[in-house]
Structure 1
Amino acid sequence: MSEISVAALQGVPVTALWTLWTRAVESAASYTDFRDILAEELCEAIDFDFRTFGHPARTQVLRARTIDAEIQRFHRDSPGGTVVALGEGLQTTYWRLGAPDLDWISVDLPEMIDLRRQLLPTEARMRSVAMSALDRAWFDLVDGTDVLITAEGLFMYLSPDEVFALIGDMAQRFPGASLIFDVLPPGFTKRTAKGVRLSRKSDYMVPHMPFGLTVPQTRALPQRIPGVASYRELRMIPGRGWSGPLALGAQRRLPLIRDHRHLIAQLTFR
């Protein structure tokens, strides 16, 4: 069987391969309880030299595990609800969670949706929508009132005006829903304008990230965006070493770091 070409992916969509590979490497390791067998299979099926990325980004696994846990909580509280995954890329969350009793809408660019259709299993409760997350046309495809929207690894690649406007429009259209997204500090995102390499062994440059917020700025989003009722930070599920519980706890406490770190936010709409 020939490998699947990903030559159509350019720019930001290539980062979907990076996150896929990180999960696959972690899943295959003997020292972890994180399992993403489908990610491992996809890396085998794709024609791409993943060594381009240098080293796996462990924070991407922490992010995936943390969002997994919140979707599981949503599933317990709202069985039969709807998850809308914006910019889902090659995430395999639905299968990692055991195909939960949820309607699942994957929204991404046409080239990514085409790749998902080639690589991923067909599921009765999953729908793929080939459009930008900024195209409000996907709003009309969401039925029901129990809605959880995710934007995993997406908002940092949009402009601040685009992010704030999209959140505001979602808040007006989906009252009572919630939104989960991750945020990087401005100190890092501004550096990407000049080019950031993933490692000394890699020539891959991280795409420019126009959007970044400090922790206080993220915490203040309910006051900034009409229709947003509340904010909470999802505590990262710890890993090992520098991403273990002691290290993550120190990041939340140390004065120079606590307001300028990677975090996962959840906003609830009025």
Structure 2
Amino acid sequence: MSLPKHPAPLTGVSETALMTLNSRAAEARRPDRILDDPMAIRLVDSIDFDFTKFGRTGQATALRGLAFDTHTRDYLQQHPSATVVALAEGLETSFWRLNATVVDAEFRWLTIDLPPVIHLRSQLLPSSPRIAMRAQSVLDYSWMDQIDPDAGVFITAEGLLMHLEPERALNLIAESARRFPGGQLLFDLPPARAAKSSRRRGLRISRRYRAPALPFGASPSQLATWLTSMTGVSSIHNLRFPRGRSRTLNAVLALNHRLGGRLGTSLTLVEFGRASSTSDG
């Protein structure tokens, strides 16, 4: 007998958490998967929702998750007791993927998201003494007061900044740099042209689903211009996405990186310190 499923009454930007969850779970079910994510499969199977409304899935979301895992793990190898702050985490399952691959894991995890998402996570995901959650906007900076920065802080903004107004997104980065010296922030962002197109034409994902328009987009070079002037930002890295299954996809990803993110989403790592410099990675 199958267990009863849990409703997921998410709307607006929060509903995109269901879309990205579905993409990761679909990828994790493949025998040639690029992301091992059993918790995503478990979540999809426990939610009462018609995921077919999102249409076909691809590799992009899984590649993004793999990239975030890789760079979070790199930081944790140097700061094993650090706090990972997952801003607007949605229904991401990064904690369990990292916990399974980091040797003698002792890092702590703080999820920040709106109340409906936090309620759903608390109902469906396993608890851990190393996980804390706060039901609030990421722009309410009181969450920063809950973190001891001495052991290190790694902040993820996966699929977040493009949903904020530019000034608010940049202020979030600036305040993080001010509060967490020695920490890092990882985020993804579409080019300005793609964000503008979403506002003009809408972001049609499938015949049955249109995602919210994106207020913010920028290239890595634009970001570097803005971020290098921020107090506390020591370096900015335009990172490469991992390789996927398709030669065509890999060629497009490589070309996008060479062209400075003009073709698609870019991945940026910001280090917080005292000096100011930029580099590509």
Task: Answer yes or no: same fold by TM over 0.5.
Answer: yes
Pair 1:235 & 2:240 matched: yes
| 1:105-124 alignment runs, 5 A limit | 105-124=110-129
| 1:151-162 alignment runs, 5 A limit | 151-162=157-168
Report the count of equivalent residues: 265
Pair 1:262 & 2:269 matched: no
Corresponding position of 1:58: 59
Kindly provide the amino acid, as one letter, of the partner of residue 235 in structure 2. S
Deviation at 1:258, TM superposition (A): 4.6
Corresponding position of 2:91: 90
Deviation at 1:198, TM superposition (A): 0.9
Deviation at 1:144, TM superposition (A): 3.0
Does structure 1 conserve the Cα–Cα contact (< 8 Å) formed by 2:149 and 2:180?
no
Deviation at 1:260, TM superposition (A): 4.0
Secondary structure (helix, strand or coil) at the match of 2:32 reads coil
Give RMSD over aligned pairs. 1.6
Q: Aligned equivalents of 2:251 and 2:224: distance in 1?
A: 23
Does structure 2 conserve the Cα–Cα contact (< 8 Å) formed by 1:134 and 1:166?
yes
Does structure 2 conserve the Cα–Cα contact (< 8 Å) formed by 1:214 and 1:260?
no
Kindly provide the amino acid, as one letter, of the partner of residue 187 in structure 2. F
TM value normalised by structure 1: 0.93
Q: Aligned equivalents of 2:192 and 2:219: distance in 1?
A: 7
Does structure 1 conserve the Cα–Cα contact (< 8 Å) formed by 2:34 and 2:244?
no
Corresponding position of 1:198: 205
Q: Aligned equivalents of 2:135 and 2:39: distance in 1?
A: 22
| Cα distance per residue 1:179-208 (max 9 Å; x no partner) | 000010111111222312113xx2211101
Kindly provide the amino acid, as one letter, of the partner of residue 266 in structure 1. L
Distance change (3 Å), C-alpha of 1:120 and 1:258: closer
Runs of 5+ consecutive residues of structure 2 not aligned to the other structure: 274-281
Q: Aligned equivalents of 1:82 and 1:97: distance in 2?
A: 13
Q: Aligned equivalents of 1:183 and 1:246: distance in 2?
A: 19
Pair 1:218 & 2:223 matched: yes
Runs of 5+ consecutive residues of structure 1 not aligned to the other structure: none
Q: Aligned equivalents of 1:223 and 1:175: distance in 2?
A: 15
Corresponding position of 2:212: 207
Q: Aligned equivalents of 1:173 and 1:154: distance in 2?
A: 20
Percent pairwise identity: 37
| Cα distance per residue 1:27-50 (max 9 Å; x no partner) | 001222421011011101001011
Corresponding position of 1:166: 172
Does structure 2 conserve the Cα–Cα contact (< 8 Å) formed by 1:189 and 1:210?
yes
Kindly provide the amino acid, as one letter, of the partner of residue 68 in structure 2. I
Deviation at 1:76, TM superposition (A): 0.9
Secondary structure (helix, strand or coil) at the match of 1:205 reads strand
Does structure 2 conserve the Cα–Cα contact (< 8 Å) formed by 1:27 and 1:35?
yes
Structure 1 ranges of 4+ moved more than 4 A: none
Secondary structure (helix, strand or coil) at the match of 2:203 reads coil
Corresponding position of 1:69: 70
TM value normalised by structure 2: 0.90
- Aligned mate of 1:176, from 179, 182, 196: 182
Range with greater deviation from structure 2 (119-128 or 228-237): 228-237
